[in-house]
Structure 1
Amino acid sequence: MGAILDGNRFVLGTCYYPEHWPKELWREDLERMLASGIEVVRIAEFAWSKVEPTEGNFTYSFFDEFLDLAEEVGMKVIFCTPTATPPAWLTEKYPEVLNADINGVLYRHGARRHYNYNSPVYQELSKRIVEKFASHYASRPCIIGWQIDNEINCEKNVFYSGSDSKAFRVFLKDKYESLEALNEAWGTAFWNQTYTDWEEIHVPRKTYSDSTNPHEVLDYTRFISDSARCFAKMQSDIIRKYLKPGDFVTTNGLFGNLDNHQMTKESLDFMTYDSYPNFAYCLDAYSNAPGEMKDRKWSRNLSEVRSLSPIFGIMEQQSGANGWNTHMEAPTPRPGQMTLWTMQSVAHGADYVSYFRWRTCTMGTEIYWHGILDYSSRDNRRIAEVKDIHEKLQGMKEMAGSIYEAKVGIIKDYDNVWDAQLDVWHGRVDNASQKALFAALQLSHTPFDYVYINDASDAEELKKYQVLFYPHATIMTKEREAVLRAYVEAGGTLVIGCRSGYKNITGRCVMDKLPGLLSDLTGTDIPEYSFIAPDAGKVTVKWDDREFEASVFADLLQPIGAGKQEASYTSDYYAGSGALVSNVVGKGKAYYYGSAFNTESARVFLEKLDVISPYRDVVSVPESCEIAIRKKGDDRFLFVLNYDKNPAQIELLRKGTDLYTGKEVSGQMEIKGYQTLVVKL
């Protein structure tokens, strides 16, 4: 990790594809990169045929020549395994390696990620090419680390090939051991779905109503995650046999149907992310919906990455307009936005930032996915901005290795994330609450972390947070309840939203009084519940002197045991019923809120629980700005990021050092549109 995440400085890189350019350009490109402050290139993630042009015939000269030049000029290299795009000879000879749609129709050669993880042929050929890559190239002095595949589970994160059905059966046999246990877990008595032979089980297939057994789909999603993780671990295990001391293994992106936390533990030294805030400005109608957070939403994604690796890298950072010839049309980032998005990544924990890409490609699907340079390679505004970013980061190097600071956390777990994908009732409340909590925290300048738990979690990792929100813990287990209880008993404040505790780990609804396993912890009983009817009008909640609107759903609550009703519904037939119950447990307190969160209600909770705007005595900024604090020892570093094209008036309430200029700053100041400020306090 030392070459890019050494805790002593920030490092810039870029994605480069020597196979796309005449060799005569290589030296000029590398030297221009170095002159711009770029000292690392990522290569080879789509270049299987450059090493194995035909089956079993290996040649290493192409990348040897490039690596010779990299070593000569002093460029460091992150080398990738090429398994995201199998070559034409492979898919033509072995069509069983191809992924398929839900109807069983194969995805043919011509794009990318058209393979499936579970084809024995693809696994063997992937093992061989990774072994060849690593055994030949890993010893090269210029190589500092390896990227596995590219954006695992990107674009396609469902798999319906024959190989997947065979592997799914093995996964289920290992999990349930008997068909009797599987039938019980899946509730196959419903609609006469009982299985009497393992061969009767397939990955989900097309049904006339597009409805399939939800318990099967939940296990299928777990199976996809397991398949992807095993594919990554196979590659990591091979690479590590040849790894030089100090070199690292990573992969890039953050995609669905994948337990990225477990994959990181099993296979990676740290995660890298691909950050494209310019998606917010794509010309599709959905991108321009009123009230959206635009490019600021990428701070939510970066917070997810931080839950995996507190200090991480960006393998692909937006540098130009994004688009394919088949879809996606977007404007070029405006002056300052490239810096803004880089500092957004750094503010959230990135010590390495690599821009996608060096030069815009002249061929293929991504001819409109622009890089630092345009087709002509002429000097332009974006390369000037890279040079300026490099200068800024040079002045910030004492911050490297520092940790993002937050006292508020949002709890997540993969079982509930995946259940919310397949269950529209769960998904409706979860989507509303996740969006609202993020907006309320961002707009009130309240930094937060995502905190993932599972049955093996320890309450110690939760205790650093003053308040934890668990928006909708629909699936709950005894083990997770015990972790939450230990956190509250130790003095923590836990807020749980509606529709919690009503499913077990298989996704089956429990027959307990709701909220099931969470009743005792929250001091709550739920005798009745309902979606808020469209004709109900505005359903409101009153909590002391605050009245706000409920959203989407209403659990009608009654306190039990030591539980205390804190708030009531004030309209429709819900009026007078409990909307919020609190329960003192040990040194802390647990709350059960009977609705989904909206921005207004989330803000009320932040205010009532006294965690809102924790840095209001440090800086005063408008809602258009994000603030973040990174901490290293006794030093704190403040980021102010202006996402608006218009200037923002801020007031720094403590003296500090502007790390861009080295000058002391305090008091009122103006930050221009898309401008950033980084201050050592």
Structure 2
Amino acid sequence: MKQKEKKHVLRIIFALFGILISINSAAQKIEKYFPKKDLTRVGVYYYPEHWDPNQWDRDLKNIAAMGFEFTHFAEFAWAQLEPQEGVYDFKWLDKAIEIAAKYNLKVIMCTSTATPPVWLVRKYPDVLETYEDGTKTDHGSRQHASFSSNYYRTYSMKMVEQLAKRYGNDKRIMGWQVDNEPSRFLDYGADAQQRYRDWLKEKYKNIDTLNEAWGNNFWSGIYTSFDQINIPLHKEWGMNLHSQLDHFRFADQETATFLDEQALTIRKFATKDQWITSNYIPNYNVSYVGMSKELDFDCYTRYMVYGGSLGIGPKGYRVGDYSNIAMANDFFRPTKGMYGVMELQPGQVNWGSINPQPLPGSIRMWLWHVFAGGSKFTCTYRYRAPLYGYEQFHYGIVGTDGVTPTPGGMEFSQFIKEIGMLRTKYDAKATLPDYYLKRKTGILFNGDNVMGIDLNKQTKEWNTIGHFLKYYKAAKSFGAPVDFVRDTTNFSNYPVLIVPAYQMIDQKMIDKLTLYAKNGGNLVLSCRSGIQNRKGHLWEAKFYEPMWNLIGSKVDSYDLLMPHSPGIIKFNDKEYEWISWGDLLKPNKETEIWGTYEGDFYSGTPAVISHKLGKGTVTYIGLDSKNGDLEKQVLTKLYQQQNIPIENYPEGVMVEYRDGFGIAVNYSDKVFNMDLPKSAKILIGTQSIKTADVLVWKY
């Protein structure tokens, strides 16, 4: 071996060794925060500032009596923590923490950056977000101060620092939540404008590079200076798509770095035993989720019944969409190796389009579903139902009298008792079942691609996340453990890797996917994958040409249909409808044709193809079917061909394994009878799982 080759091999070995050390270190840190033997912990929000201090002892005592292990303070309390500029009052919070500790309740301490006090926004009105039409937000809501305001970023860190100085070395504080449900600010204020220009300068270095990336030769869009660039008007027809995508990227980075700045401020004073996270709404058309490097792990919020999902069957709206918790679990867990749920719906809410009561048992089922995905803790908003403010009529764990448990409160208590029983059955030596691991599936997710497609769908019938869900729901019906993986992930850990609508690609990623298949992986790509380069430009080549060798086919063109006249795909002698996107393929001789278009001027043209590549396979599904049935059948054929053991769970039944336990939940409107091996020992429930019920067994 030549000297250069030896050095290259050594670099690879050292890099892999570094990755292993990093993975082991992360696992040890998580174990320190959340010992495996505890399985999961359960907590509840409490707002001392909302209630008579004479009731705090009673309330926190009752929280502990219901089985909760931690509570959650100071999320929206900036006005109480800093009633005047530079004047801080922590006495009331000290007292609340002292009472919580009296009843063995740990505390998650929160920064209050989602709700700045009125004196701040009146004295410094430029901290308020400016909308595209020039109007501003105002005091009285939340998340109305912009993460792109220089003054707000600087001043809010002073408040965060005071909190961290006070409680960073306090053993009663288990961890920190920075901000609350942080979102993307499309702020048009002066600071945001300048920060956007600075961000573009840092990214592109010179204006010619930006002009080329944005395609500014089109429509006389040339800039001669970064100072000429304004934040794009997203509501303006015909606005440059590439500038809009960059603005989304910038705004998401503003959110991520604002959280990171808070985390770094806290770390100056916090002990290593305190973790730091934030609480995201599971939006998948943004890139800030998982982008904050200084957070120990990511958490999500999930409300299931608010008029947003019809669920399965006529009363499914009382249970919710079965993929909502599942996808959030599988999306958040891989970002940093673990996740928690900071808000899980405790009952009827007030802010939805329609606010029905959840079906009895649903809340307990949601708790088990969160646990099944690997969560280390679940918290609920909130203990006491609010008597005033925007969220009147929002249920809590107890009702408006402050003491009577709600139905959801009783379901939380039941789950806590069941987890207590499960802890006595925990086996540290337990491993995941072999048949479960053999069907492990990765789904490649890239926020840039989702944002880019959504800016230029080409048809109103296209739904990017809906497209992902067709593949995701199919894999979950197989009983597969699924991870949403990122570009930097080691794909070799997954027997199957699904790449849905990965529109913007580069040669590096094409090579990585090719190597994955050649080394024995089963790669599945869907329509739109690779039609553009990373800049969002079409290739100066034939359609998808850089992808041809990988997918084993040329792509002649694509079609988009009218909703009143769906097209037909024939696969395995069955017909499936499609509307939103269809690639017209011209496969190589060695590529198998699995499905064809029927009933149009290109009838007989291949639509679904597969071929061997090295030790593995590449399957290309060149269309987006109407309801996902085709995608499921294609995946079924692939898994069976590769001798990957799969189940065929009906829609709404979800099954996972963790810590030596199997967990099944039923969102469907029918009883499901679960087949278990004779060696299985049922711990909770029965093999006949009713709607909103749970089965837990030791395998």
Same-fold call, TM cutoff 0.5: yes
Pick the aligned partner of 1:321 from 348, 352, 359. 348
Matched, 1:252 2:252: no
Identify if the C-alpha distance between structure 1 residues 97 and 225 changes in structure 2 by more than 3 Å, giving closer, same or farther.
same
Amino acid in the other structure paired with 1:320: G
1:147 aligned partner: 177
Q: 1:186: Cα distance to partner?
A: 0.4
Matched, 1:451 2:480: no
Matched, 1:212 2:239: yes
Amino acid in the other structure paired with 1:392: E
Q: 1:547: Cα distance to partner?
A: 4.3
Pick the aligned partner of 2:414 from 388, 410, 413. 388
Q: Superposition pairs for residues 273-672 of structure 1, below 5 Å?
A: 273-279=300-306, 294-324=321-351, 328-380=353-405, 381-397=407-423, 398=426, 407-425=440-458, 428=462, 430-442=464-476, 444-454=477-487, 457-458=488-489, 461-533=490-562, 537-543=566-572, 545-560=573-588, 562-597=590-625, 598-610=627-639, 622-630=650-658, 632=659, 635=660, 637-644=661-668, 647-660=671-684, 669-672=687-690
Q: 1:137: Cα distance to partner?
A: 1.6
Q: Deviations over 1:378-432 (max 9, x none)?
A: 3333333222111110122327998795512221111111112212228816344
Matched, 1:101 2:131: yes
Tell whether the 8 Å contact from 2:597 to 2:604 is kept in structure 1 after alignment. yes
Tell whether the 8 Å contact from 1:277 to 1:295 is kept in structure 2 after alignment. no
Pick the aligned partner of 2:106 from 76, 101, 116. 76
Identify if the C-alpha distance between structure 1 residues 21 and 516 changes in structure 2 by more than 3 Å, giving closer, same or farther.
farther
In 1, the alpha carbon distance for the partners of 2:377 and 2:645 equals 26
Point out where structure 1 has 5 or more consecutive residues left out of the alignment. none
In 2, the alpha carbon distance for the partners of 1:411 and 1:77 equals 36
Greater Cα offset, 142-151 or 418-427: 418-427
Matched, 1:263 2:291: yes
Tell whether the 8 Å contact from 1:410 to 1:448 is kept in structure 2 after alignment. no
Secondary structure of the 1:191 match is helix
Amino acid in the other structure paired with 1:382: G
Q: Deviations over 1:583-633 (max 9, x none)?
A: 32211111222211442111211221126997767xx86544222222x4x
In 2, the alpha carbon distance for the partners of 1:656 and 1:14 equals 33
Tell whether the 8 Å contact from 1:549 to 1:600 is kept in structure 2 after alignment. no
1:51 aligned partner: 81
Q: 1:4: Cα distance to partner?
A: 5.7
Q: 1:338: Cα distance to partner?
A: 1.2
Tell whether the 8 Å contact from 1:526 to 1:557 is kept in structure 2 after alignment. yes
Identify if the C-alpha distance between structure 1 residues 581 and 673 changes in structure 2 by more than 3 Å, giving closer, same or farther.
closer
Secondary structure of the 2:664 match is strand
2:694 aligned partner: 676
Tell whether the 8 Å contact from 1:336 to 1:674 is kept in structure 2 after alignment. yes
Secondary structure of the 1:38 match is coil
**Normalising by the residue count of structure 1, what TM-score does the alignment of the two structures yield?**
0.90
In 2, the alpha carbon distance for the partners of 1:586 and 1:249 equals 44
Q: 1:297: Cα distance to partner?
A: 3.0
Q: 1:296: Cα distance to partner?
A: 4.3
Q: 1:568: Cα distance to partner?
A: 2.6
Matched, 1:192 2:220: yes
Tell whether the 8 Å contact from 1:446 to 1:611 is kept in structure 2 after alignment. no
In 2, the alpha carbon distance for the partners of 1:93 and 1:288 equals 51
Q: 1:280: Cα distance to partner?
A: 5.1
Tell whether the 8 Å contact from 1:412 to 1:453 is kept in structure 2 after alignment. yes
2:145 aligned partner: 115
Q: Deviations over 1:534-583 (max 9, x none)?
A: 5755322335x454334422211112475444433232112122212333
Secondary structure of the 2:636 match is helix
In 2, the alpha carbon distance for the partners of 1:29 and 1:2 equals 31
Matched, 1:25 2:55: yes
Tell whether the 8 Å contact from 1:624 to 1:648 is kept in structure 2 after alignment. no
Identify if the C-alpha distance between structure 1 residues 257 and 430 changes in structure 2 by more than 3 Å, giving closer, same or farther.
closer
Greater Cα offset, 545-554 or 16-25: 545-554
Amino acid in the other structure paired with 1:425: Q
In 2, the alpha carbon distance for the partners of 1:172 and 1:233 equals 20
Q: Deviations over 1:489-523 (max 9, x none)?
A: 11011111112212111212222222233221112
Identify if the C-alpha distance between structure 1 residues 466 and 280 changes in structure 2 by more than 3 Å, giving closer, same or farther.
farther
**Normalising by the residue count of structure 2, what TM-score does the alignment of the two structures yield?**
0.87
Tell whether the 8 Å contact from 2:454 to 2:464 is kept in structure 1 after alignment. no
Amino acid in the other structure paired with 1:395: M
Amino acid in the other structure paired with 2:541: D
Point out where structure 2 has 5 or more consecutive residues left out of the alignment. 1-29
Matched, 1:16 2:16: no
Tell whether the 8 Å contact from 2:670 to 2:691 is kept in structure 1 after alignment. yes
Identify if the C-alpha distance between structure 1 residues 644 and 472 changes in structure 2 by more than 3 Å, giving closer, same or farther.
closer
Q: 1:289: Cα distance to partner?
A: 10
Secondary structure of the 2:675 match is strand
In 1, the alpha carbon distance for the partners of 2:346 and 2:304 equals 10
Tell whether the 8 Å contact from 2:441 to 2:496 is kept in structure 1 after alignment. yes
Tell whether the 8 Å contact from 1:556 to 1:579 is kept in structure 2 after alignment. yes
Tell whether the 8 Å contact from 2:169 to 2:270 is kept in structure 1 after alignment. yes
In 1, the alpha carbon distance for the partners of 2:449 and 2:671 equals 41
- In angstroms, what is the RMSD of aligned CA positions? 2.9
In 2, the alpha carbon distance for the partners of 1:138 and 1:270 equals 18
Q: 1:277: Cα distance to partner?
A: 1.4
Q: 1:293: Cα distance to partner?
A: 6.5
Tell whether the 8 Å contact from 1:622 to 1:649 is kept in structure 2 after alignment. no
Secondary structure of the 2:639 match is coil
Greater Cα offset, 340-349 or 304-313: 304-313
Secondary structure of the 1:124 match is helix
In 1, the alpha carbon distance for the partners of 2:536 and 2:513 equals 20
In 2, the alpha carbon distance for the partners of 1:399 and 1:379 equals 37
Tell whether the 8 Å contact from 1:446 to 1:614 is kept in structure 2 after alignment. no
Tell whether the 8 Å contact from 2:480 to 2:646 is kept in structure 1 after alignment. no
Amino acid in the other structure paired with 1:16: Y
In 1, the alpha carbon distance for the partners of 2:81 and 2:315 equals 44
In 2, the alpha carbon distance for the partners of 1:113 and 1:600 equals 41
Q: How many residues align?
A: 655
Pick the aligned partner of 1:66 from 96, 101, 104. 96
In 2, the alpha carbon distance for the partners of 1:366 and 1:439 equals 33
